[in-house]
Amino acid sequence: MEKHEIKKAGLKVTLPRVKILSLLEKHGGHLSAEDVYKLLLGEGEEIGLATVYRVLTQFQTAGLVVRHNFEGGQSVFELDHGDHHDHLVCLRCGRVEEFVDDTIENRQQAIADRHGFTIKDHALVIYGYCGDPNCQKDD
Amino acid sequence: MEKHEIKKAGLKVTLPRVKILSLLEKHGGHLSAEDVYKLLLGEGEEIGLATVYRVLTQFQTAGLVVRHNFEGGQSVFELDHGDHHDHLVCLRCGRVEEFVDDTIENRQQAIADRHGFTIKDHALVIYGYCGDPNCQKDD
DNA sequence: TTATAAATGAGAATATTTATCATTATCATA
DNA sequence: TATGATAATGATAAATATTCTCATTTATAA
């Protein structure tokens, strides 16, 4: 139940927050603030875009969602299930796939150590063309 | 000589282009469009911000510079010396360090293959606190 | 030198995100 | 359950980053 998670985050349980959280659960995917806004409109919810941004940022601070800055302007958000993962992004159709690779994770830590860095976060995004025939064909 | 590279890129050799290219060479670092604009102003060059963006984008298309989308709004640009590398970014002081790790590169290729992706580009950024004592101390 | 096509500068326009503020809703407590 | 302190919302303005427009200027091939 979403209400519990929102309460745990120290936030009041409001309609916009419940709706946005369940939307993210339903879609699983990687949604921009505007995606969320439009999906809410489609469901007949009159929730302002400013509220969407505000709530997503609060969820991010609370650790409920993660924010990614892929190429192309808009940030995208997804539920944080605690399992860190990296991304493959198709430049043609926008499809996003996830992956985890322990070898890469370990190498990153070793590199940070060598440079005297304390890792707070990291982002690995592979951009390319996905397996779909429409995305593989040349320009 | 910068003029040659500009000409090779199929662009006319103009003062803004020569200045911007030599600025990137001089600084080596990772400059935002606004950084470039202000540095030019500091040198007494009256080059518009729009021109800076335009030229940087053209250089990117021509393969002369690479553009990175680190966290925090602005894109940063650096000369493309042909040697791909990834980045460590300090969240406190903004320092940027570069690294290459063949193991990570190979794993990425393997992952893309497994997912049926054709890699066009990739970005690995490790965010954290660098070795500087001021950056390591707690909040 | 000159004609042509491209580049520039200034400011408008766009896109994304954040801030402001008056109004409304939540929720602990009475 | 009613209530009041506090937080959240929606509408809009503002801030930020980047791109577009267009009249003027400049580079360069002939």
The Cα A34–Cα A41 span in angstroms is: 10
Q: If you compute the radius of gyration of chain B from its CA atoms, what whole number of angstroms results?
A: 17
pLDDT digits (tens, 9 = 90+) for A78-107: 999 888 899 999 988 888 999 999 999 999
Nearest-by-CA chain B residue for A105: B104
Q: Please tell me the distance from the alpha carbon of residue A63 to that of residue A8, in angstroms, as a whole number.
A: 11
The pLDDT of residue A91 is 86
Of A99, A125, A129, the CB nearest to B118: A129
Q: What is the percentage of chain A residues whose pLDDT exceeds 70? A: 98
Interchain pair A128, B117: CB under 8 A: yes
| Strand C close to B11 by CB, under 7 A | yes
Question: Lowest-pLDDT range, A14-23, A111-120, B12-21, B83-92?
Answer: B83-92
Say if CB A78 and CB A123 are below 8 A apart.
no
Q: With 80 as the cut, is the pLDDT of residue A60 above it?
A: yes
Q: Across residues B80-99, what is the average pLDDT?
A: 90
Rg over CA atoms, chain A: 17
The 10s digit of each residue's pLDDT in B47-79 is: 999 999 999 999 999 999 999 988 878 999 999
- Inform me whether the C-beta atom of residue A91 falls under 8 Å from chain B C-beta atoms: yes
DSSP assignment of chain B:
-HHHHHHHTT----HHHHHHHHHHHHH-S-EEHHHHHHHHHHTT----HHHHHHHHHHHHHTTSEEEE--SSS--EEEE--S---EEEEETTT--EEEE--HHHHHHHHHHHHHTT-EEEEEEEEEEEE-SSHHHHS--
Question: Which residues of A, range 107-136, sit inside 8 Å of B by Cβ?
Answer: 107-108, 111-112, 115-131, 136
Q: Give the B window 28-87 contacts with A, CB below 8 Å.
A: 69, 71
Helices A33-42 and A49-62: crossing angle, nearest 10°?
Answer: 120
Give the distance from residue A51's alpha carbon to the nearest chain B alpha carbon, in angstroms. 20
pLDDT of B139 over the 60 cut: no
Residue A82's DSSP bridge partners are: none
> What average pLDDT score do residues A50-63 get?
96
What Å value separates CA B69 and C1' C22? Answer: 38
| pLDDT at residue number B3 | 82
A49 touches strand C (CB under 7 A): yes
Binary contact (A128, B108; C-beta < 8 A):
no
Distances (CA, A) of A6 to A28, A37, A40, B116: 18, 19, 18, 38
pLDDT at A139 over 80: no
CB atoms within 10 A of CB B123: 19
Task: Please answer yes or no on whether B127 and A136 come within 8 Å at the CB atom.
Answer: no
Q: B5 near B21, Cβ under 8 Å?
A: yes
- CB A66 within 8 Å of CB A60: yes
What are the structural domains of chain A? 2-79 (1.10.10.10), 86-136 (3.30.1490.190)
| B130–A107 C-beta distance less than 8 A | no
Please indicate if any CB of chain B lies within 8 Å of the CB of A96. no
Give residue-wise pLDDT tens across range A11-33.
999 999 999 999 999 987 799 99
For residue B93, what pLDDT band results from cuts at 50, 70 and 90?
A: confident
B9-22 per-position pLDDT tens digit: 999 999 999 999 99
pLDDT reported for residue A138: 60
- Give the C-alpha distances (Å, rounded to integers) separating A38 from A23, A41, A66, A94, B116: 11, 5, 20, 18, 31
Percent of chain A scoring above 90 in pLDDT: 77
Provide the shortest C-alpha distance from residue A129 to chain B (in Å): 5
Per DSSP, what are the bridge partners of residue A128?
Answer: A90, B119
Nucleotide D27, nearest residue via CA and C1': B12
Q: Which nucleotide is nearest to B73 (CA to C1')?
A: D17
Q: Give the CA A13 to C1' D3 distance in Å.
A: 19
pLDDT of residue B137: 64
Amino acid identity at B24: L
* Residue B43 CB neighbour total at 10 angstroms: 10
Looking at the predicted structure, is the pLDDT value of residue B85 above 60?
A: yes
